[in-house]
């Protein structure tokens, strides 16, 4: 893929473009950490895009209309995102609504809530210092702060999966939920935690996006759930649960980020980009399904 894009457009491997890709994949990379946890338990979270949008709108609204300090606005906005994750956990775990339906309902509800808060109008005019999270570089370097936030999130996700008992529980639930319950794991509580983490990381991704774009749009996170799921599945996390590593997700994020950037440089139409990304997701899931069949036989 890199070779094809490099031949098609020499700017693809330029330093400026590599830095641009690092900025672009920050949102995917941060949100993918939470989605990895969800898919590991054979769940799904379709509300991620709406959470990103809502955080954009809520954070910008608080800074512009309520004149809150940006740090307070960021903390409150991420708190709202985490609460949405807890709501998803409640619907999935306590009520028993299938994750697909529960998170689709959340997606619809909070997409509408974003329009109600903003009145359908973009929000801008907040303090330029807010650019710290998405547009700034580390002092004296060209390394984007957003890329550093992504790295910290990935390290935290890897620690949870590899060094904590929570991570072992996530794999156990994804492998066999009934067996995990019988072994003493409180599956219901774990689902609350997992969806709360998904909301938290989606909220943080929304903050980085708002900082990078400089304006809160009502379509900011639209379709991001699809790209994030593609990154995670392409990175080797099984949609059947119980299998996957954070290192693979990192690769999936970089592949999707590079693919998107390369297609833009080659002036591929938005609709063709959708077709290609859909094919990538279908192939990734197909390979996972065939692998499961071979193991079963």
User: How high is the pLDDT of residue 262?
Assistant: 92
pLDDT at residue number 286: 86
Question: What pLDDT score was predicted for residue 37?
Answer: 97
Each residue's pLDDT expressed in tens, for the chain with a length of 297 residues: 888 888 888 889 899 999 999 998 999 999 999 999 999 999 999 999 999 999 999 999 999 999 999 999 999 999 999 999 999 999 999 999 999 999 999 999 999 999 999 999 999 988 889 999 999 999 989 999 999 999 999 999 999 999 999 999 999 999 999 999 999 999 999 999 999 999 999 999 999 999 999 899 999 999 899 999 999 999 999 988 999 999 999 999 999 999 999 999 999 998 999 999 899 888 888 887 787 778 776
Q: What whole-number distance in Å separates Cα of residue 41 and Cα of residue 285?
A: 16
Q: Which of 211, 177, 219 is nearest to 194 (CA)?
A: 177
Tokens describing residue 50? 């709406």
Domain 17-222 adopts which CATH fold? ABC transporter involved in vitamin B12 uptake, BtuC (1.10.3470)
Buried b / exposed e over 105-129, threshold 16 CB at 10 Å, is bbbeebbebbeebbeeeebeebeee
> Model-level pTM?
0.94
Helix (H, G, I), strand (E, B) or coil at 69: coil
DSSP string of 140-186, one letter each residue:
TS--BHHHHHHHHHHHHHHHHHHHSHHHHHHHHHHH-HHHHHHTT--
- Rounded to 5 degrees, φ, ψ at 181 are -65, -45
Radius of gyration of the chain (CA): 19
The residues pairing with 144 across neighbouring beta strands, listed in sequence order, are: 137
List the Cα angle 260/261/263 in 5-degree steps: 65
Phi-psi region of 94 (alpha: psi -120 to 50; beta: other; left: phi over 0): alpha
The torsion region of residue 171 among left (phi > 0), alpha (psi -120 to 50) and beta comes to: alpha
What would you measure as the largest C-alpha separation in the chain, in angstroms? 62
Give 214's contacts (C-beta < 8 A, 6+ positions apart).
Answer: 124, 131, 135
Distance separating alpha carbons of residues 67 and 74, to the nearest angstrom:
13
- Give CA 249 to chain center in angstroms: 11
Residue 123, helix vs strand vs coil: strand
Q: Which tokens go with 228? A: 């994030």
């Amino acid at each position: 893929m890199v070779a094809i894009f490099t031949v098609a457009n020499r700017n693809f491997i330029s330093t400026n473009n590599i830095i641009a890709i690092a900025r672009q994949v920050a949102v995917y990379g941060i949100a993918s950490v939470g989605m990895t946890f969800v898919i590991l338990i054979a769940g799904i979270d379709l509300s991620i895009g709406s959470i990103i949008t809502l955080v954009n709108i809520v954070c910008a609204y608080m800074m512009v209309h309520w004149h809150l300090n940006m740090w307070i606005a960021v903390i409150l906005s991420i708190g709202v995102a985490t609460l949405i994750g807890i709501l998803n956990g409640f619907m999935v775990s306590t009520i028993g609504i299938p994750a697909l339906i529960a998170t689709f309902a959340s997606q619809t509800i909070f997409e509408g809530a974003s329009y109600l808060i903003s009145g359908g109008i973009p929000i801008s005019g907040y303090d330029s210092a807010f650019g710290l999270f998405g547009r700034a570089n580390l002092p004296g370097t060209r390394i984007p702060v957003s890329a550093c936030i992504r790295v910290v999130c990935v390290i935290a996700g890897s620690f949870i999966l590899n060094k904590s008992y929570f991570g072992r529980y996530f794999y156990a639930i994804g492998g066999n939920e009934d067996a995990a319950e019988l072994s003493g794991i409180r599956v219901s509580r774990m689902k609350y935690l997992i969806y709360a983490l998904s909301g938290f990381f989606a909220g943080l991704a929304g903050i980085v996006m708002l900082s990078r774009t400089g304006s809160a749009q009502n379509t900011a996170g639209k379709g991001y759930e699809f790209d994030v799921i593609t990154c995670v599945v392409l990175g080797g996390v099984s949609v059947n649960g119980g299998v996957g590593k954070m290192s693979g997700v990192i690769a999936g994020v970089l592949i999707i980020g590079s693919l998107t950037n390369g297609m833009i440089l080659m002036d591929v139409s938005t609709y063709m980009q959708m077709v290609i990304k859909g094919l990538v997701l279908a192939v990734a899931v197909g390979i996972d399904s065939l692998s499961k069949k071979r193991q079963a036989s």
